Chain A
Amino acid sequence: MCMRCVELNRRSLLVGGGALAAASMTGVAQARIRPQDMVPLIGPGYRPTDADERGLWQLMDRVEEEISGSSLLIKDPAITAYLQQLIGTVGGPAAKDMRIYLARVPDFNAMMFPSGFSVVFSGLLLRMRSEAQLAGVIAHESGHFLRRHMIRSWRDTRRKSDILAIGSMVAGVAGGAAGVNTGDLSQLAQLGTILSLLRYSRQMEAEADAMSVKLLADNGYPAAEAAEVWEQLIGEMDASARYRRRRRERRWDLFTTHPSPESRTADIKASAAEVTVPGRTYNNHRQRYLATIGPIRQMLLDDQVKLNDPGASQFLIETLARDGWNGLLRFYEAEVWRLRNRAGDDARAAQGYAVAVAYPDAPPEAWRWHGLSLIKQGRQSEGRAALARYLSLNPAAPDAPFIQQMIS
C-alpha cells in the first residue's frame, strides 16, 4: 500500500469514497529521517495488549483467513518459500512472526497488514530486477509493522474522521472477511477498503524508507537498490501517462499524500550512502532472484502486456532488458505493438516477432505470431513454416486445430 498505495478500483471507490475522503491525511514536509534513528518498536513474538489494537488484530485474523484461502493466490511452493525466506531475512526482530502471500494481480503493489502479514502482488515480481530490489520493498513493508504504523494511523484516523463513516466501513470489511459476499465488492477491493483505513502519513513513509535501507544493509544487500525501485516506478508511470498525453500527477493521486517520489528517491540514496560500510561486500542476488521467478516470468509478462497499457508495458520491458534482451522480452515487446494497434504497428510487431524468433529462448507463441504476421503480409509459405514450427514446439496447443487448418 505504501509503495503505490492501494489503487482502489472504481467499484470500491464508489462505495468507500465518502469515508476515504473523510480519512484523508495532511502531510507536512520534513527533513530526511536517518536510518540509525529507526529503532524497531516491537520485538519477536509481539502481541497487542491495548483493547483497540487487540480488536484490530482480531479483525485482521479474519481477513488473513480469507486471504490465505483465496483462489487468487499463487501457491507455487518454490516461490512462496522464497518470499517467506526473504521476509524472514529483512523483517528485523519480527522476521519470524511475519507471513507473506503472493496474489496474482498484475499491479505494482505490496502491503502490510496490522497483524504482521503481507500481501505482495505478482506485478511486483515482474518489475523487480534483483533480489535486493524486492527485499527493499518487503523491508519497507516490514518497517511499517516494526514501527507500529498501522495502529498509530488507525488511532489518528479515528480521532480525525467521521466516526460513523469509519464504523460502516469496518462493518463492511468484517462482513467480507466473514465470507458474506456482498456482491458489490470484489475481495481485493475489500482489501483496498481495509487499507484505506490505514493510510500512512508522509512521516511514516519516510520512516519505513529509512528502516528498509537499514534492514537491507544489515543483511548484506546494496541499500541503494531501494531507490532504483522508485526510479523505475516513476519512469513507468510517466511512460504510461505520456502515452495517453496526460500528466502523471493527474492520475497518481497517491503523490498528494506521499512524499514526492523524486525527493523520496534522493532521501533513500542519501540514507543508503550513510549505512554502506566501506570495504564490506554487498550482493544484490540478481541471479538467485531470476532463477526463482524464472518459471513464472512468462506468465507475469503475459498478465501485464495483455492489459494493453502500452506506455507502461513498453517501459517495463525496456527496464528489464537493461539486464539483457532475450527471446521472451523481444516477443512481448512485439505483443505490446500488436495490441496497441496504431497505424504502422502491425509492421512493427511483425518485425518484432521476426527478431524474437532469432533468439534460441523465444517462446512457442513467438513462432505463432511470427507465422500469422507473415501470412497477413502475403508471405504464405514462410508463414506456414513458422506456424508449423509453433505446433512442433507446442503440439498440445489449444489452438492447434485452427492453426493446422491455416497450414493445410
Chain B
Amino acid sequence: MNRKIKLVIAAAALALPLGGCASGAVGEGFSSHYALIGVRSVNVGDGSMAVTPPRPWNRQRARLFDDIRQVEDWTLNGPLLDGMSFVTGLRSGQYLIRQRRSEDRQVPKFRSDMTAPEVTAMLESLYRVRGGAVDFRTLSLTPRPFLGANGFQFDYEHLDTDELWRRGRAVGAVIDGRLYLILFDAARSHYYQNAIGDFEALVASARRRR
C-alpha cells in the first residue's frame, strides 16, 4: 500500500497533470487526491466549460497554493498511465502551471494572439520543461472546430525520462482571446487506445457556459 501511495505522488510529478505538480505530499492517501466524476454533465476548470464523460473518471483535487483555476486534471488509471486535462478560458499572460520566476526553465506564458502552432509549441515546452520529455514528436496538426470556433487538433508523442513513450491529443481554440483546450495524454501502448474514445466523447460534449 505504501508503495502505491508513493507511486501516485511521484506520478503526479512525472505524468504532468496541468493543474499542479504534486510535491512533498507524502502521507496523504489515495482518496484525498481524487474525487469520482459520474456519467453526467460536469463543469470543469473555473466552471466556464461543461463536459459529459462516457464513463466515470477521477478528478485530481486542486491543491492549495498550487492550482490554476482554469485548469483541471482527470485520470482513469492513475496519472502515470493516463490523464485528461481541461483548460477553460486561460487569459493572456497566464501560465498553464504555477512556476517560480527563478526557475531556469520556464513554460512559456499564453498570449491571446497566439496561433495554433504557437499554442502547440507552448504545450511541447510544457512537456519538455515539466514532464521530463527527452523526445517530443508532432504527429499532426489539423484544423478542427471546437466549442463552435475555428480550432485545432494536435497529435503528438513523447519519450519521458521514465523510458515510457506516451501519446497525446489536444483539441483547442482561442475564443475571445482566451484559451480553451481539452488534452488527453496516456501511455502509448494500450492506455491511449483505451481512452481516446472517452476523449472524443468529451470533446463532442463540451460546451461553454457563460
Contact = CB atoms under 8 A, between A and B. Distances in A.
Interface of A: 10-11, 14, 70-72, 104-106, 181-189, 240-241, 244, 246, 251, 303, 306-312, 338-341, 368, 372, 375-376, 398-399, 401-403, 405
B190 interface: no
A10 B23 contact: yes
B111 interface: yes
B66 interface: no
Contacts of B72: none
Given A306-B125, A398-B139, 6 more contacts: A11-B10, A11-B13, A14-B23, A186-B162, A244-B103, A306-B121
B104 interface: yes
A341 B108 contact: yes
A214 to B, nearest CB: 35
5 contacts: A244-B101, A311-B104, A399-B120, A399-B138, A399-B141
A309 B101 CA distance: 11
B141 to A, nearest CB: 4
B105 A308 contact: yes
B108 A183 contact: no
Interface in B56-75: none
Interface stretch (B39-47, B126-134, B174-182): B126-134
B9 A184 contact: yes
B51 to A, nearest CB: 24
Contacts of B80: 183
Contacts of B105: 307-309
B161 A398 contact: no
Nearest to A106: B134
A184 B109 CA distance: 29
A401 B144 CA distance: 10
A104 B132 CA distance: 12
Contact of B117 (A14, A311, A399): A399
Contacts of A311: 104
Interface range, B side: 35 or more
A246 to B, nearest CB: 6
B125 A339 contact: yes
B138 A376 contact: no
A97 B7 CA distance: 39
Task: Identify whether the interface residues of B are mostly helix, strand, loop, or mixed.
Answer: mixed
B161 A309 contact: no
Nearest to A335: B121
Contacts of B184: none
B104 A251 contact: yes
List the 5 closest pairs (A to B, CB-CB), nearest first: A399-B141, A184-B10, A186-B161, A183-B7, A401-B142
B155 to A, nearest CB: 8
B135 A104 contact: yes
Contacts of A70: 163
B186 to A, nearest CB: 17
A368 B109 contact: no
Nearest to B161: A186
Nearest to B110: A341
Contacts of A338: 118, 121
A308 B108 CA distance: 7
Interface in B91-110: 101-109
A399 B125 contact: no
Contacts of A403: 117, 141
B140 interface: yes
B113 interface: yes
Given A106-B134, A309-B106, A187 B162 contact: yes
Contacts of B13: 10-11
Given A187-B161, A372-B117, A399-B140, A246 B102 contact: yes
A270 B126 CA distance: 44
B195 interface: no
A399 B101 CA distance: 32
Nearest to B155: A398
Contact of B6 (A10, A184, A401): A184
A403 B155 CA distance: 15
A398 B159 contact: no
A182 B111 contact: no
Nearest to B4: A183
A184 B18 CA distance: 19
A71 B129 CA distance: 19
A186 to B, nearest CB: 4
A307 B105 CA distance: 6
Contacts of A307: 105, 125, 128-129
A186 B7 CA distance: 12
Given A72-B161, A188-B161, A308 B107 contact: yes
A186 B103 CA distance: 21
Given A183-B10, A308-B105, A71 B115 contact: no
B185 interface: no
B163 A72 contact: yes
A372 B124 CA distance: 18
Nearest to A405: B143
B3 interface: yes
Contact of A401 (B23, B140, B165): B140
A402 B170 CA distance: 14
B111 A376 contact: no
A398 B153 CA distance: 12
Interface string B1-21: 001001101110110000000
